[in-house]
Structure 1
Amino acid sequence: MSPPTVFPPRIHVLLAREAPLGVVIRRGPSKQVCTLLWDRATDEFQLGQWLHGRIYERRADLSPDGKHLIYFAMNGHWDGEARGSWTAISRAPYLKAVTLLAKGDCWHGGGLFTANGRYWLNDGSGHTPIRDSREVRRDSQYNPRTDFGGECLGVYYVRLLRDGWTLVRREKLGKWKILSVFEKPAPGGWTLRKLAHEEVDHPPGKGCYWDEHQLARPNTTIASPDWEWADVDRHRLVWASAGKLFAGRLDESGIAQQTELHDFNDMEFEPIEAPY
């Protein structure tokens, strides 16, 4: 019998809009996830906390100043205080909730920051407040202009559009298979293209929602199917592949001065208490 295939950890990154900060969500094995603070000015990383469970990274967001994290998580402890799944707001990069909203299922959940200290809750069928904080307040007036459903895409695609991506097309490729193509201007006259897949019969090592990327300019396309996350960070391109985070400059030929920023492959679960 062949040994099971071991996939590298999945990497998803949230970038602060008004500060050179980011939060890396690192998942692997499937029921272990941790968060790290990324100082994008120095490219230094600080471990936050681990969770035995799942963070739905496409329903998460980082406040514009990088100080707060909103996320939706599930650990399946349905008799617990948070009823097995919950939306939390924490002090980035930690996971300990200052605001905790129990959900009890995996419909909807998570949300977006509309400003520093203000958030929109992807409420759906409702949350049960467990703990609240004066650090953040719910924005009851905000309503996303475009509806992509209540689960991951209803937060993720709205976040992409807010953060400078343009939805170029959305096409149905099968009964349970949709491709959404987003584009964002990149340095050097390039366009960063995100191919966002929505499918039940997904490739091994992928979830039902997964992304790949391309770089494009007139008459030239460079495919990067192994980039699971990518974005433009000021004057450089940043991307995640094979459990690592990279940065590079773009010139007329493509990526130049590629640098490996961090390798997340060998990380193992460790209990960490938040300093608050």
Structure 2
Amino acid sequence: MNTQPQRRLYLYFATENDRAVILLRAARRLWAMILWDRAAGTFTEGQWLKREIDPALCQISPDGRHFLYNVRYNRPNDAATESYTAISRPPYFTALALFAQGWIPGWGGCFLDNGHYWIDGLPGPEAQRVGKTPDLARVIEGTPAKGCTTGLRLTDGRPAPLARDAARRLVALLPKAGQRGCPPDLMWLWRQALAGEQDAIHARYDTLGGRLYRRDGMELALIRDFDELQFRPVRAPYDDRPLAGAEPAPWHPLDGEA
């Protein structure tokens, strides 16, 4: 009997261009990232990750230049036993920024626009383990004041320069003063608010196992079959960690995994 789990594809579409990220779940705790240029019809196979990703807590930035993903609780005695959310540059998992999120499942994050992002459940910047995102800034909830009536700020205290509609939408999703219970899953709520843009693109495509199809009425036209894609070690071109044999460096989520 073949007990090998069926492969599955998860699709994430940029809303400002034809870039897309494909996550391939090849097996339990084995994922691959692929960058898809829908206009050119090309695919760039990227890194593999030997962790368990929560596909519902992943998101591509509107311009397709960054990808946010969430890794669930891992194996005991592992340096990364807690869950974490990371931001990378597709099609690579190597983290540009990484946020430890403890043992509580369901916390992730979301892109507010091309230059700003939100991380669920974290009170301040101290939870960030690595940070190499000069073109991205994290938005946190601060105290409303003159010049910052929303209370939305960057981690250095400056008002977050979000578009008015984005700021209003985010403030409406935040828990109100005195509200009890866990913070909301901001990413899920944010995605629901913008679902129309993504749904229109998703409706054009379908997946079955490791195969990607284009919908043509009631018919499906095969675009690409990833069923035979196999693990191979890949180093991200922006990875500045020391090569093997160099001096020890701080722990990184891809150490020994990609």
Q: Quick check: TM above 0.5?
A: yes
The reply to whether residue 48 of structure 1 matches residue 10 of structure 2 is no
Paired with 1:68 and 1:121, the residues of 2 have a C-alpha distance of: 15
Deviating 4+ runs (over 6 angstroms): none
How far the C-alpha of 1:82 sits from its partner, in A, is 4.3
Distance 1:8 1:108, change over 3 A: closer
* RMSD after superposition: 2.9
Answer yes or no: is the 8 Å Cα contact 1:8–1:242 preserved in 2: yes
Q: Which runs of 5+ in 2 are unaligned?
A: 141-151, 153-169, 176-181, 239-258
2:221 pairs with 259, 263, 271, which one?
A: 259
Does the residue aligned with 1:97 lie in a helix, a strand or coil?
A: coil
| Residues 145-177 of structure 1 deviation map (CA, whole Å, 9 limit, x = unaligned) | 399x768x75345414313079xxxxxxxxxxx
Contact 1:75-1:85 within 8 A present in 2 as well: yes
SS at match of 1:45: strand
In the TM superposition, 1:206-221 aligns within 5 A as none
Q: Which residue does 1:36 correspond to in 2? A: 34
Contact 2:15 2:62 in 1 (8 A): yes
2:25 to 24, 27, 44: 27
Q: Which residue of 1 aligns with 2:135?
A: 135
Number of residue-to-residue matches in the alignment: 202
* Structure 1 segments unaligned to the other structure (5+ residues): 167-183, 187-229
- Range with greater deviation from structure 2 (18-27 or 241-250): 241-250
Cα contact 1:107–1:124 (8 A) shared by 2 = no
Q: CA deviation at 1:117?
A: 1.8
Aligned with 1:9 (options 4, 7, 10): 7
Higher relative contact order, chain-length normalized (CA < 8 Å, sep 6+) = 2
Distance in 1 (alpha carbons) for counterparts of 2:174 and 2:5:
34
Percent of residue pairs bearing the same amino acid type: 28
TM-score, normalising length: structure 1: 0.64
More helix by share: 2
- Whether 2:241 is the aligned partner of 1:270: answer no
> Which one of the candidate residues 92, 95, 108 is aligned to 2:93?
95
Q: Match of 2:108? A: 110
Change (3 A) 1:30 1:273: same
2:121 corresponds, among 120, 123, 129, to 123
Q: 1:45 to 1:95 in 2, by over 3 A?
A: same
Separation (CA, whole Å) in 2 of partners of 1:14 and 1:144: 25
Conserved 8 A contact 1:78-1:104: no
CA distance in structure 2 between the partners assigned to 1:78 and 1:113 by the alignment: 31
Change (3 A) 1:14 1:160: farther
